[in-house]
Each structure stands twice: as structure tokens, then as C-alpha cells.
Amino acid sequence: MKIKSLIVLTLCMAMLCLAGCSMKAPEKVSTDDSPLKVIASFYPMADFADKIGGDNIAVQCLVSLGMEAHDWEPTTADIALLEEADLFIINGAGMEPWATDLLQTLSNKNLVVVNTSEGLDLLENDESHDGHDHGDQDPHVWLNPLYAKQQMSMIMEALKELDATNSKTYQDNYEKWANKCEELDQNYRETLSPLNHKDILVSHQAFGYLCNAYGLNQIAIEGLSPEGEPNPARMAEIIDFMNKHQTKVIFYEENTSSKVAEAIARDTGAKTMVLNPLESLSQEQLDAGEDYFSIMTANLKGLQEALSD
Amino acid sequence: MTLMSLFQYDFMRRAFIVAIALGIVVPCIGVIVVLKRLSMIGDALAHTSLAGVAGGLLVNINPVLGAGITCIGAAFTIEWIRKKLPQYAEMSTAIVLSAGVGLAGVLSGFIQNATSFNAFLFGSIVAISNAELIAVVAIALLVLILFFLMYQELFYIALDERSATLSGVPINTVNFIFTLLTAVTVAIAARTVGALIVSSMMVLPVACSLQIAKSYRQTVWFSVLFGLSFTLIGLTISFYAALRPGGAIVLTGVCCLLLVFNLKKMVCR
């Protein structure tokens, strides 16, 4: 008798649980005034979403400030955020390898996912650089301003569909920032095309799309990450290359000062400068009002200095 | 690549200066350390200094200074535990090693900017800054001078502290100076060239030397000779074979030790 009642009890509880679960996902009430909850995977996506959505949406960025976007893994708190969200914006092209698995585990059936690199002409990944492997494609599309414009357009379309009442605002915002992207592209073109040197030395091979768009050539210094020990033959090779091509600048990422880059700089008399791949910004940079456009403009200044005679 | 291209680069010239300095000095300390049954002290101190780097970044003092302070603290803790447990001297290094790694793990959790921590964690003999070059050469000279001034005293202490006391050696003073020297050498060398080179250079040359030396004097001289050749050969091989220098230097030492074992067997036959 006891066993039977236990079984019945268990069954009842299981049913209750199931009922609870299915009730947890109610039909979305679209008439509420609260802003759309938008989650962006990392900084440029958050910045673009913020620019297009304005006050109508509340953007949260998963990869927090100052973190390395490539090594990031979601925590349970991030998953909870996504369960509550309306829209999830990713870059795609292998930048968020964790997203596929994560999305399958979510029970949020109303979540719309936008892959902003969809439809872009993606570059092959030359080599898996500095330990982290992106897969077959180079994900750093946002560093080409015209690709960034396309990504903004994808975000705008998604927002329009989710929130038709404000679609005019999204369209206006998009047009304003799309113009800025074109302006930026124009600036890059005009500044870089007359310069004689075309080779840039970078610590992180993130500038494929940028180089492709403006006829530059990136040479990645492997092992320039501060974690690993470099091998001297490779360092000698880089020094020879720099002397031969009269390269004056070694670009490294924000936050990653490297003893090896400095050693090479000492040998060649070159300078080390920052070329920001915009994967994440620090709190100080945000407080100073930096955004995609200001950093891209700063990058252009650095490139101009490095490549002019 | 010709032989001269080895010295054509500034970073290789620096690497060779550091290799010569550490190749001479670390085995000197190593002889005493091995005879005192504290072979792992290099590893223990190098890992403990990570806690100093993390602590230094947290309270905003120079991380290398933080590493030096914790290294000295750890070295004296090892001495203190060693005196408490004289039969199990090697246990003291294991205790301090685990305490240091634990502390470093906890402290590094509080550091916001992980990249700055990483930059201080690892050093490489082929990426030596001006300040590091001066520090290494200065510490090497200091250690050499003090080592040869206390040559006899150190020998007595390393072999048998009790009879050293009886023969009138001021063992507390000598132990104090030696512990300090060890700590400072490891702190600077580990930050500069990496913990791997330091801890292996303390033991491998001495191990080779002990196979062939017939006296204390010979042990010291052979250790220095072996240490110097390991760093120089390892560095040269790493340049021509495109290997990581730290690993190349250590493996040169290990191969040489195996060679010495076999040669000794053949000669003894």
C-alpha cells in the first residue's frame, strides 16, 4: 500500500512540475510600455543596438567591460538574462561559439536571435592565431565600416519586426548612423590610399576585413600574447621583415602590453601603438564617451602615422 | 642563418648576457640548496612570488617589488619550517609551495584586469627590458661576491649544521644571508626568464656535477661549468631550431645529465 501511494504522490508532483513549466512561458503581452529587452553578445553589437534602438530598448552586453571577448563563457546569470530577453544580437561567423549550445538549452520561446554577419562576404581564417581558434571564418567583420552598416541594418530590421509602433524611429536612427559609417569609410579611403606603405604589424590578427577594404596587408606576430614564450627564430624573422620594409610601428591590442613587442621594438627602433579591435571597451573608455566611431577614428590616426613616410 | 646572425639582434645579445649571469649564479646557490636537501626551493619560491605579483597589483605597489617581498617571506618560512622538522627538510618547500599557489589563486580572483596580471606572470629570456637586464647583472654580481666570501662557511652549513656550530661558524648569520640571496635571485630571475629556467638551473647542473666531482670545490666549479653550458647551448639551439628558449635550456640540461650517467657507467667498467 505504502509503495502505491508513494508512486501516486510522485506522479502528482511530476504533473505539477510539468504544469508549472508550461505555465512559465505565457503569451507575450506586446502592449506594455516597458522597453524591449535586448541582449548583445559583445561590445560592438551592444553599441550598434543602442544607436539604432535609442530609448525604446534596454541593451545589455554579455561580455562585460574589459573582458577578453574570445575567451568568454556564459555564466548562469547570463543564461537567466537571456530567458527574460526579447532580442539577442550576435555577430556570428564564429565569434560566439558558445551561442549555439546555449540557445538550445533556453526555454524562452519568444527570443528572437539576429546573426548580424548573415549575408556578408566572409573571409577565410588564415591561421588559428595566438591560441584561440575561431573556426573557419574570420569573425572580425565590424572593423570594416560598410560591414558595420550592414550589421546595423540587420539590427534595425529585427527591431522593426518586434516593435512595429516605433519602426519610424528605428529607420531614422539607422539612416543617421549608416551615413556615419559611409563617412568613416570615406575617411579611411581618403587617408590610407595615398600612403606608400601597406603592411601593418599586429599582435592580434583581427584586421582582415579592414585591410581587405583599404588595400592593406596585416602581418600577425604570433606568440605576442603575454601568456606564452616566443621563439627567438620567429622574433628574428619579424625583425628582419620590419627592417626590410621599414615598418615603424608594432600595433598591439588595448590592455595587452607585451614584453616581446617591446623587445622587438627596441631591436628595430619601432614604436608600439594601440590598434583597438573593438572587442570590448574598458569602463574608463565608456565614461570618456568612446564608441565605435571614436575608436575607429583613433585607429585611423594610428594607421596613418604608421604607414606614412 | 650564419653563426654571426645569432648576435646580430639586440634581444639575443641581451639574452646571452642574462644566460651567462644566471648560468653562473644560479648553480652556485643550487649547490648549497641541493646539499641542504631543499632542491625544490626554486620552484616553491617562484610560485609563491606569484602571490606577491597579485598582491602588488591589488594594493597598487610595483608587482615585482611585491614578488620580491613575498619571496623573502617565503624563503624565511621555509627555513623556519625546516628547523622545526629537520628530518623532513624537503617538506618545508612543499608546504610553502602549496600555500603560495593557494594564496596566488585567491588573490588573482580579485584582480579586475586579467591581462595586466598575465603580463607579470611570465617572463622570457628573449624579451628582457633595460631594468631587468640591470637587475639581473647586479644581483648576479652581489651573489657571486657574497658566495665566495662565505665559501667555507656555506660548505660547513650545507653538510652538517651541528658540527658547523661546533667549529665556530656563525650559522644563523650565514643562513640568514644565504636565504635572502636565494629569495632575491629567484624573485628577479623568475620574473625575468620564467620559473622554469630558475628552478631547473638550481638542480640540473649540480646533479651532473655530483656525478663526476671529487670534492666540494670541484662540485662548485663543475656546477658553474655545466650551468653555463646549458644556458648557452640551449639558447643557441632555440634560436636555430625555432624552439622556446626556456624549454630548450632545461632539456639541454636533462640530456646532458643522461649523457653523464651513461659515460660514468662506461668509464667505471
Q: Which of A28-37, A56-65, B3-12, B135-144 has the lowest mean pLDDT?
A: A28-37
Which pLDDT band holds residue A21 (cuts at 50, 70, 90)? very low
Other C-beta atoms lying within 10 Å of the C-beta of residue B240: 13
Which pLDDT band holds residue B116 (cuts at 50, 70, 90)? low
Q: Which among A226, A229, A262 is the nearest to B194, CB-wise?
A: A229
Residue B197 backbone phi and psi in degrees, to 5: -65, -45
User: What's the confidence (pLDDT) of residue A131?
Assistant: 43
B3, B5, B9: best to mutate for the A interface, most A CBs within 10 A: B9
Are A48 and A155 contained in the same domain? Answer: yes
User: What's the confidence (pLDDT) of residue A31?
Assistant: 47
Say how many domains are in chain B: 1
Answer for the pair A251, A203: CB distance below 8 angstroms, yes or no: yes
Residues of A in contact with B245 (CB under 8 A): 229, 231-232
Residues of A in contact with B235 (CB under 8 A): 232
pLDDT at B166 over 90: no
Q: Which among A66, A229, A267 is the nearest to B11, CB-wise?
A: A267
Grid cell 583597438 in the structure block, residue: A276
Final residue belonging to a domain, choices A127, A156, A186: A186
Answer for the pair B7, B13: CB distance below 8 angstroms, yes or no: yes
CATH at residue A298:
3.40.50.1980
Domain residue limits at A167: 36-186
- Rank A57-71, A82-96, B153-167 by mean pLDDT and report only the highest: A82-96
CATH at residue B165:
1.10.3470.10
Residue A3 lies in a domain: no
Chains A, B: CB contacts within 8 A come to 92
Q: Which of A17-31, A222-236, B23-37 has the lowest mean pLDDT?
A: A17-31
pLDDT at B14 over 80: yes
Q: Does A227 touch chain B (CB under 8 A)?
A: yes
User: What's the confidence (pLDDT) of residue A22?
Assistant: 46
Q: Which of A14-28, A47-61, A109-123 has the lowest mean pLDDT?
A: A14-28
Are A291 and A154 contained in the same domain? Answer: no
Are A45 and A91 contained in the same domain? Answer: yes
Distances (CA, A) of B202 to B68, B164, B249: 18, 24, 13
Q: Crossing angle for the helix pair B171-193 and B63-84, nearest 10 degrees? A: 140
User: What's the confidence (pLDDT) of residue B7?
Assistant: 87
A7's grid cell: 508512486
Contact A232 B238 (CB under 8 A): yes
List for chain B the helix, strand, coil content (%; round to 5): 85, 0, 15
Q: Which of A133-137, A173-177, A199-203 has the lowest mean pLDDT?
A: A133-137
Q: Which of A135-149, A161-175, A256-270, B252-266 has the lowest mean pLDDT?
A: A256-270
B11, B122, B235: best to mutate for the A interface, most A CBs within 10 A: B11
Are A202 and A159 contained in the same domain? Answer: no
User: What's the confidence (pLDDT) of residue B254?
Assistant: 96
Q: Which among B112, B114, B124 is the nearest to A259, CB-wise?
A: B124
Measure the CA dihedral A189/A193/A194/A198, to 10°. Answer: 140
Are A44 and A66 contained in the same domain? Answer: yes
Å between A258 CA and nearest CA of chain B? 7
Å between B2 CA and nearest CA of chain A? 13
pLDDT at A30 over 50: no
Residues of A in contact with B247 (CB under 8 A): 229
| Burial class for A67, CB neighbours closer than 10 Å (0-12, 13-18, 19+) | buried
User: What's the confidence (pLDDT) of residue A10?
Assistant: 66
Are A171 and A227 contained in the same domain? Answer: no
Q: Which among A227, A229, A232 is the nearest to B12, CB-wise?
A: A232
Residue A2 lies in a domain: no
Say how many domains are in chain A: 2
Domain residue limits at B207: 4-268
Distances (CA, A) of B215 to B143, B219, B222: 22, 6, 10
Residue A5 lies in a domain: no
Nearest CA in chain A to B122: A227
Are A168 and A95 contained in the same domain? Answer: yes
> B25-74 pLDDT, tens per residue?
999 999 999 988 888 898 899 889 888 888 888 888 888 888 899 999 99
Distance separating alpha carbons of residues A108 and B110, to the nearest angstrom: 34
User: What's the confidence (pLDDT) of residue A183?
Assistant: 96
Are A106 and A227 contained in the same domain? Answer: no
pLDDT at B130 over 60: yes
Are A167 and A214 contained in the same domain? Answer: no
Average pLDDT value for residue range B117-133: 78
Q: Which of A88-97, A181-190, A293-302, B160-169 has the lowest mean pLDDT?
A: B160-169
Are A179 and A216 contained in the same domain? Answer: no
| Burial class for B84, CB neighbours closer than 10 Å (0-12, 13-18, 19+) | exposed
Which pLDDT band holds residue A257 (cuts at 50, 70, 90)? low
Å between B244 CA and nearest CA of chain A? 5
Distances (CA, A) of A29 to A54, A58, A110, B17, B64: 21, 17, 11, 72, 58
Are A222 and A157 contained in the same domain? Answer: no
Which pLDDT band holds residue A129 (cuts at 50, 70, 90)? very low
Residue A263 lies in a domain: yes
Are A175 and A227 contained in the same domain? Answer: no
Looking from the CA of B265 toward its CB, the CA atoms found within 13 Å total 6
User: What's the confidence (pLDDT) of residue A28?
Assistant: 44
Q: Does A64 touch chain B (CB under 8 A)?
A: no
